[in-house]
Chains A and B, each alone.
Chain A
Amino acid sequence: MTAVRTVPPPTSELTATVDRLWEAVTAGSEEAAGAVVFGALTAGAEPESVLLEVIAAVQARIGREWAANRLTVAEEHAATAINDRVVAALAHHPVVRDAVRAGPRGRVTVSCVDGEWHAFPARLLAQVLALRGWEVDYLGAQVPTPHLIARLHRTAPVALALSASLAPRLATAHSAISAAQAAGVPVLVGGAAFGPDGRYARLLGADAWAEDARGAADRLAEGLVAPLPAHQPVDDLPHLADQEYTLVRRSAPRLVGAVMSGLAERFPAVRSYTEAQLQHTAEDTAHIVDFLGAALYTDDPELFGGFLTWTAGVLTARAVPTASLLAALEVLGHELRDLPRAVGLLDHGRAAVASPSAVPATVPHQYHGNPA
């Protein structure tokens, strides 16, 4: 939800438009949402500004409100669906059609990393690029990596813009980046998964990183250099030689099981959880293991610490004490005691949760779980 994170301060006029769109979207009224956006266009607002400073701002707010437990999952999905339709409808507005700059610049493929479900940032980027005269091949969020690469071979775009908002997708992103580069297509990445300053984009050898859709469009306009000849993804990350990432990934279900029985031992309340509550707890635990994996993959304790701090916030918003989170980390530390990097990450994570004042620099990596 937060790939377009740093929205420039909008003008006061646009601020009012943001509020009106927010009301329309949360009221579930597609018609009203369309009226707000088309009204702004007719009043002379730049289509790109409407996309990035109005629609994207509302989308970011949807994510924040959900995290703060002020929107249900259903409301969040409904609002996103309406926003999505507004973007689609906007493309056919006469003002927007006229605004498309003449002359095709070439073809760009826009896709989400396999397993990524936040298609909205990629859709926004696709729309901005279309506005700027690119021929856009928008693949959305349901494209398995082999299909993406096959498509690149067939269409030979000048670049691939790859979006990911969840850090656990970084390993998959890495293989997509390497494969696209091997096919001769340079890769620009964006989205919260790549870190607030794009640190993981550099780590994974992406050709470029952009903070937001506008930045991505500017960067593509500068032109990307054809990537160097193919290399093995593992060469980017020598620390993977210790196999800890693989071991944790492989044993994820067992680790979740161990945490579940560990929690039941320590907290009598867990023993009387309903099936649905157990399910939610297991899912939350699976997310923790996912992010531990991502931190092992990138060898970055901040990634794990940032996620845990954010999770603690989400749990607190839902009146769940962080003691259970700390207990889960303890169980994981015991289970993974033979893996020194994992133990280090878990220690760091416990410290991050225990001292909430130590808010990490990283922006939360959102996920779409069902908080307990």
Chain B
Amino acid sequence: MALLPTETPLGSAESGLAFLAGAPYPVLVLAADGAVVHGSGSAWNLLGRPAGAEGEELAEVAPWLLEAHSRLCAAATVRRHRPGAPAAETAVRGVIAGAEVEAHPSLRADGSVVWWLVGDTDRGLAAVVERERWELLARLPGLLLNSLNVDRCLETTAQQAAAHLADAAVVVSPHSGRALRFVTCLRDGPPVRGQVRADPAAVPGLAEALQGFPPVPSRWIDPETAPNWLLPEGLTAVGAVSVTPLPGHGVPAGALVLLRGPGHGAFTPSEEVFARLFAARAGAAVSAAVMYSEQAAITDLLMRELLPPRLEHMNGADFAGGYRASVDRDRVGGDFYDVHPAADPDGETLAVLGDVCGKGLEAAVLTGKIRNTLHALLPLADDHPRLLSLLNRALLTSHHTRFATMVLASVRRQQSRVTVRLSAAGHPAPLIVRADGRVEVSRTHGSLVGALPETTVVSDTVVLAPGEACVLYSDGVTEARGGPLGDAMFGEERLLHALGECARMPAEAIVERVLMLASQWVGGRRHDDMAVMVVAAPQGTRLSAAGRYGHGGFPA
């Protein structure tokens, strides 16, 4: 409820008012005749009058308060003579500078009255700042919170501060390392980013503001002491400089430095209020952006690890993969695929496509564990049952029964043909697209990995002639619900039919075709992760396109 810190010293010990120093509310002490004995800084701010103003001025600003005071003093006089008379120490309400304020009296022995002024914070302050500024404050969170990008947020803060608070503004980034990073902005100019190697402690209050601790009030510093980097280009002379921490609620949100041209001094009380509210809003927005970017950085890191690789031509076979993440739940899905190229060109390349039970970070952690373990077990890749059994043991835990299903495909080029050894562990069996358009279901089956004491698997070996392909997919594809009539499953039949049209197509085109049909099937409906990987025996020479930019085509 404290509108403003009571900075005005309440040193008048002779009047016995020292106790008011810790007052939580703006407070006025009026003598019986209405003269102002004492006013807290916050009370003067609320009244919009300089400290120490006279009672006459009070009558102008809040006549209702003086009237209530007179009534109270009169009643007190009556009671001194007639002890049974009713007490009159009840709160009164009135308006000060457009804001509703409740005034609570407490009668003192010397006949003076302490008036506690309690107002609804924002509404009270709304009256203090001018309408235009109030409108800006209302608009500001929208402007600031639109971007969850820290730099954008700081730029907006600098721009708005320069436009409404001072002749120029500098916002120092909370993310400053050894170098201080900041955004400067002249009134009506564009925000400009900069950085400097400087000690923030050289600017009073800046180091604390950047640490977010201890809490410090905004303060005006001697412009002479301001370091050069703080003075934006284009601002020829400086009359006043203030440093305000952006309150970040536990997260450092940076500092706002306001610069005023020559002839301008410190803010008036109403400007001060406005600056504080501005800083509070900017701080909340910047800290939200900081927290978002930290979360996003963590997720990014996880995603980089989990994103399927861009697949290429490897050791004589073509690999292509595609993935469409489910949107309606967490960002990191449960499907994955990987290709581990053989050490030598004649060796076996191991491709894996899997589906981890569960969603979100929990699934992500399990996926990471599976991929790492598989990587470690690569030397055993010539023995699929053994590899799956070891992976199963590594994943088995008494804590839960989360599991994964997967297909292992060991791929080896032999002259123009490609041999693929397939093992499906609890996973739909891969489909083989022959050059003449026949589609076969491979004869491999086995148990899932990670929840049963032992695994069983029956492997199958298929030989691909040039132009033939082996399609690994997750059940998100076949179980996609939708279609023109709404609630039918895409199903294996439709997948087989679609693949029948894919004979002799390049691996990427098959992946794209299947994902496109399945996605069109679901339309805008909810769906699970959908992953497709194709291993194909090439028909001709492939173009090399190593190092394509970006994660092209993969979920953001």
* Chain B residues, CB < 8 A from A77: 502, 505, 509-510, 512-513
Q: When the two chains form their complex, are residues A137 and B544 in contact, meaning their CB atoms are under 8 A apart?
A: no
B292 within 8 A of A: yes
Interface centre among B506, B546, B548 (most CB of A within 10 A): B506
Residues of B459-491 at the interface with A, using a CB-CB cut-off of 8 Å, are 483-487
A43 within 8 A of B: no
Q: When the two chains form their complex, are residues B327 and A146 in contact, meaning their CB atoms are under 8 A apart?
A: yes
For residue A179, which residue of chain B has the nearest CB?
A: B146
* Chain B residues, CB < 8 A from A182: 146
Q: When the two chains form their complex, are residues B519 and A115 in contact, meaning their CB atoms are under 8 A apart?
A: yes
Q: When the two chains form their complex, are residues A81 and B556 in contact, meaning their CB atoms are under 8 A apart?
A: no
The 0/1 profile, CB within 8 Å of A marked 1, for residues 33-50 of chain B is 000000000000000000
User: A28 CA to B147 CA in the complex, in Å?
Assistant: 46
A72 within 8 A of B: yes
Q: When the two chains form their complex, are residues A81 and B506 in contact, meaning their CB atoms are under 8 A apart?
A: yes
Residues of B502-550 at the interface with A, using a CB-CB cut-off of 8 Å, are 502-506, 508-510, 512-513, 515-516, 519-520, 523-524, 539-550
User: A77 CA to B543 CA in the complex, in Å?
Assistant: 17
Minimum C-beta distance from B60 to chain A (A): 39
User: A130 CA to B550 CA in the complex, in Å?
Assistant: 12
B440 within 8 A of A: no
From A28, A146, A254, A283, give the contact of B539 (CB < 8 A).
A28
Minimum C-beta distance from B522 to chain A (A): 10
Q: When the two chains form their complex, are residues A153 and B292 in contact, meaning their CB atoms are under 8 A apart?
A: yes
User: A92 CA to B548 CA in the complex, in Å?
Assistant: 9
* Chain A residues, CB < 8 A from B515: 142
For residue A280, which residue of chain B has the nearest CB?
A: B484
Q: When the two chains form their complex, are residues B484 and A256 in contact, meaning their CB atoms are under 8 A apart?
A: yes
For residue A112, which residue of chain B has the nearest CB?
A: B553
From B142, B547, B553, give the contact of A142 (CB < 8 A).
B553
User: A284 CA to B265 CA in the complex, in Å?
Assistant: 73
Q: When the two chains form their complex, are residues B504 and A147 in contact, meaning their CB atoms are under 8 A apart?
A: no
From B156, B292, B520, B550, give the contact of A117 (CB < 8 A).
B520
A163 within 8 A of B: no
B296 within 8 A of A: yes
For residue A74, which residue of chain B has the nearest CB?
A: B501
From A148, A150, A229, give the contact of B139 (CB < 8 A).
A229
Q: When the two chains form their complex, are residues B505 and A91 in contact, meaning their CB atoms are under 8 A apart?
A: no
Q: When the two chains form their complex, are residues B519 and A151 in contact, meaning their CB atoms are under 8 A apart?
A: no
For residue A33, which residue of chain B has the nearest CB?
A: B543
The 0/1 profile, CB within 8 Å of B marked 1, for residues 110-131 of chain A is 0000010101000100100010
Q: When the two chains form their complex, are residues B552 and A153 in contact, meaning their CB atoms are under 8 A apart?
A: no
For residue A282, which residue of chain B has the nearest CB?
A: B484
A17 within 8 A of B: no
A356 within 8 A of B: no
* Chain B residues, CB < 8 A from A257: 485
A80 within 8 A of B: yes
B187 within 8 A of A: no
B149 within 8 A of A: yes
B497 within 8 A of A: yes
Q: When the two chains form their complex, are residues A130 and B555 in contact, meaning their CB atoms are under 8 A apart?
A: no
Q: When the two chains form their complex, are residues B539 and A139 in contact, meaning their CB atoms are under 8 A apart?
A: no
From B139, B147, B483, B516, give the contact of A184 (CB < 8 A).
B147
From A80, A119, A230, A368, give the contact of B553 (CB < 8 A).
A119
* Chain A residues, CB < 8 A from B549: 91, 126, 130, 136, 138
User: A126 CA to B148 CA in the complex, in Å?
Assistant: 25
Residues of A229-271 at the interface with B, using a CB-CB cut-off of 8 Å, are 229-230, 252-254, 256-257, 260
A358 within 8 A of B: no
Minimum C-beta distance from B279 to chain A (A): 21
Minimum C-beta distance from B485 to chain A (A): 5
User: A138 CA to B484 CA in the complex, in Å?
Assistant: 31
Q: When the two chains form their complex, are residues A34 and B543 in contact, meaning their CB atoms are under 8 A apart?
A: yes
B93 within 8 A of A: no
B430 within 8 A of A: no
Say yes or no: A72-B501 contact (C-beta < 8 A), given A31-B543, A138-B549, A143-B555. yes
User: A141 CA to B548 CA in the complex, in Å?
Assistant: 16
For residue A254, which residue of chain B has the nearest CB?
A: B486
* Chain A residues, CB < 8 A from B550: 136-139
* Chain A residues, CB < 8 A from B547: 92
A88 within 8 A of B: yes
* Chain B residues, CB < 8 A from A72: 501
Chain A contact patch, size range = 35 or more
Q: When the two chains form their complex, are residues A31 and B513 in contact, meaning their CB atoms are under 8 A apart?
A: no
User: A77 CA to B327 CA in the complex, in Å?
Assistant: 26
Say yes or no: A153-B147 contact (C-beta < 8 A), given A139-B550, A283-B484. yes
B281 within 8 A of A: no
Q: When the two chains form their complex, are residues B293 and A154 in contact, meaning their CB atoms are under 8 A apart?
A: yes
Q: When the two chains form their complex, are residues B502 and A30 in contact, meaning their CB atoms are under 8 A apart?
A: no
* Chain A residues, CB < 8 A from B139: 229
B300 within 8 A of A: yes
Q: When the two chains form their complex, are residues B512 and A85 in contact, meaning their CB atoms are under 8 A apart?
A: no
Minimum C-beta distance from B389 to chain A (A): 35
User: A353 CA to B492 CA in the complex, in Å?
Assistant: 37
For residue A85, which residue of chain B has the nearest CB?
A: B543
Q: When the two chains form their complex, are residues A78 and B506 in contact, meaning their CB atoms are under 8 A apart?
A: yes
The 0/1 profile, CB within 8 Å of A marked 1, for residues 136-171 of chain B is 000100110011110110001000000000000000
* Chain A residues, CB < 8 A from B551: 139
From B516, B524, B552, give the contact of A368 (CB < 8 A).
B516
User: A146 CA to B148 CA in the complex, in Å?
Assistant: 14
* Chain A residues, CB < 8 A from B554: 140, 142
Minimum C-beta distance from B302 to chain A (A): 14
A21 within 8 A of B: no
Q: When the two chains form their complex, are residues B485 and A154 in contact, meaning their CB atoms are under 8 A apart?
A: no
* Chain B residues, CB < 8 A from A154: 148-149, 293, 296, 300
B427 within 8 A of A: no
For residue A135, which residue of chain B has the nearest CB?
A: B549
User: A119 CA to B553 CA in the complex, in Å?
Assistant: 9
* Chain B residues, CB < 8 A from A88: 543, 545, 548
Q: When the two chains form their complex, are residues B548 and A91 in contact, meaning their CB atoms are under 8 A apart?
A: yes
For residue B324, which residue of chain A has the nearest CB?
A: A142
B325 within 8 A of A: yes
Q: When the two chains form their complex, are residues B552 and A253 in contact, meaning their CB atoms are under 8 A apart?
A: no
B322 within 8 A of A: yes
User: A11 CA to B170 CA in the complex, in Å?
Assistant: 54
Q: When the two chains form their complex, are residues B484 and A84 in contact, meaning their CB atoms are under 8 A apart?
A: no
User: A291 CA to B555 CA in the complex, in Å?
Assistant: 27
User: A28 CA to B505 CA in the complex, in Å?
Assistant: 8
User: A184 CA to B555 CA in the complex, in Å?
Assistant: 22
For residue B310, which residue of chain A has the nearest CB?
A: A88
A336 within 8 A of B: no
Say yes or no: A74-B548 contact (C-beta < 8 A), given A153-B148, A183-B147, A257-B485. no
From B327, B485, B524, B548, give the contact of A253 (CB < 8 A).
B485
User: A130 CA to B540 CA in the complex, in Å?
Assistant: 29
Minimum C-beta distance from B295 to chain A (A): 10
Minimum C-beta distance from A148 to chain B (A): 6
The 0/1 profile, CB within 8 Å of B marked 1, for residues 84-104 of chain A is 111011011000000000000
The 0/1 profile, CB within 8 Å of B marked 1, for residues 18-31 of chain A is 00000000001111
The 0/1 profile, CB within 8 Å of B marked 1, for residues 264-305 of chain A is 000000000000100100110110000000000000000000
A203 within 8 A of B: no
Residues of B14-70 at the interface with A, using a CB-CB cut-off of 8 Å, are none
Q: When the two chains form their complex, are residues B556 and A151 in contact, meaning their CB atoms are under 8 A apart?
A: yes
User: A141 CA to B554 CA in the complex, in Å?
Assistant: 8
Tell me the B residues contacting A by CB distance below 8 Å. 139, 142-143, 146-149, 151-152, 156, 292-293, 296, 300, 322-325, 327, 331, 483-487, 497, 501-506, 508-510, 512-513, 515-516, 519-520, 523-524, 539-556
- What are 5 of the A-B contact pairs (CB < 8 Å)? A74-B501, A82-B506, A139-B552, A144-B555, A276-B497
Given contacts A147-B556, A253-B487, 5 further A-B contacts (CB under 8 A): A73-B513, A78-B505, A117-B516, A147-B325, A282-B485
